[in-house]
Amino acid sequence: MGLKRNVSLSTALGYKGQGPYLTFILHRIGGSALFILFTVYILSLLGVQSMHTLMGNWVFQIVFLVFGLFHAINGLRITILDLFPKLIEHFRTAINIEWVVYVLVAGFAVFVVIRNAMGG
Amino acid sequence: MVTRTLPLKKRGFSFEVFMWAFTRFTVIAMYGLIIVGILGGLRLSMMTGVNFGDIMYWAFFPNMAENPLGQVWMNLVTRLMVIAFVLSACGHGVHGVLEILDDYFTSELARRWSRNFIITYAIVASLVAMYVILTK
């Protein structure tokens, strides 16, 4: 039986978690997205034609870049804070820096994919 | 803000501590392998004059695109490095997915089956990936 939390996502985001909670939930979504990508990638390498086509789809690429890059960048922040606990005092600053880095990297990645989809 | 940190020695060596360390170390290994991969790609680009983006594309999709460089970089060391990356990613991913599933499955039976499924999946996916890396 599943848990009955009775707390909607919007309520959770509006509660004390806010920014950190948003990164937590996006990290999970990103991890799940990468798990799916890994499966599609392996099947594609094995020569499954439909997975090959899916990998080449620009919408698919954008979805996985947006969520996958967030997972990687957020994971780097978590790892740094875990390995250097004294920095935890500045975790909100770390999250702000993470967002700036993420927007720049993901923005560039999405730009490249869309530009290629439009024919360069 | 007061920070509370507990040295590893005082944390004990429970399953949670082990998996926390395992997840952190596998992700550090992945970051390290990504950096080595990028540096290797840049070095190859410098040596051959081929576009770095094309090298990455040929490396990620060995059976999808004609690779004019042939097997220049796919030596044993590179293959072992890619296998190490896949195994690190699998180990890291298994724990991550299990953590998510454990949040939604509370019964003992559902948890046990989700664990069995995800670990079996990781083993099969790793074997398939290693087969592809070693044979393509």
What is the residue-level pLDDT of chain B in tens, covering all 136 positions? 555 566 666 666 677 777 778 888 888 888 898 888 888 888 888 888 888 878 777 777 766 666 666 666 667 777 888 889 888 888 888 888 888 888 888 788 888 898 899 889 989 989 988 888 888 6
**B27 vs A3, A52, A79: nearest CB:** A79
Evaluate the CA torsion angle A54, B31, A103, A36 in order and state its sign: positive
- pLDDT of the residue at A7: 65
- B97: closest chain A residue by CA: A32
- Which token pair is A9? 């996502």
* Domain carrying residue B120: 24-135
pTM, entire model: 0.80
Give pLDDT, residue A99: 95
Q: What pLDDT digit, counting tens, does each position of A41-57 carry?
A: 888 878 888 888 888 88
DSSP-derived secondary structure letter, B136: -
> Are A85 and B11 contacting, i.e. CB atoms less than 8 angstroms apart?
no
Q: Give the integer Cα–Cα distance in Å for B90 and B16.
A: 18
Confirm whether B111 is domain-assigned.
yes
Cα A115 from Cα B10, distance rounded (Å): 53
> What is the structure's pLDDT at A1?
47
Is the reported ipTM for this assembly greater than 0.85? Answer: no
- Does the beta carbon of A29 lie under 8 angstroms from any beta carbon of chain B? no
Q: Mean pLDDT over all residues of chain A?
A: 85
pLDDT digits (tens, 9 = 90+) for A3-39: 566 666 666 666 666 778 889 989 999 999 999 988 8
Reading the block at residue A99, the tokens are 């967002």
| pLDDT tens digits, A67-99 | 999 999 999 999 898 888 888 888 889 999 999
Residue B1 lies in a domain: no
Instruction: Provide the number of structural domains found in chain B.
Output: 1
Q: Residue ranges of the domains in chain A?
A: 10-117
B14: in domain: no
* A10-117, CATH topology level: 3 helical TM bundles of succinate and fumarate reductases (1.20.1300)
**Tell me, what CATH number does B93's domain have?**
1.20.1300
Number of helices (H) and strands (E) in chain A: give both, helices first. 5, 0
- Cβ(A49)–Cβ(A100) below 8 Å: no
Residue A102 pLDDT greater than 90, yes or no: yes
Contact check, Cβ <8 Å, A42/B132: yes
Give contacts of A42 with chain B, Cβ < 8 Å: 125, 128-129, 132
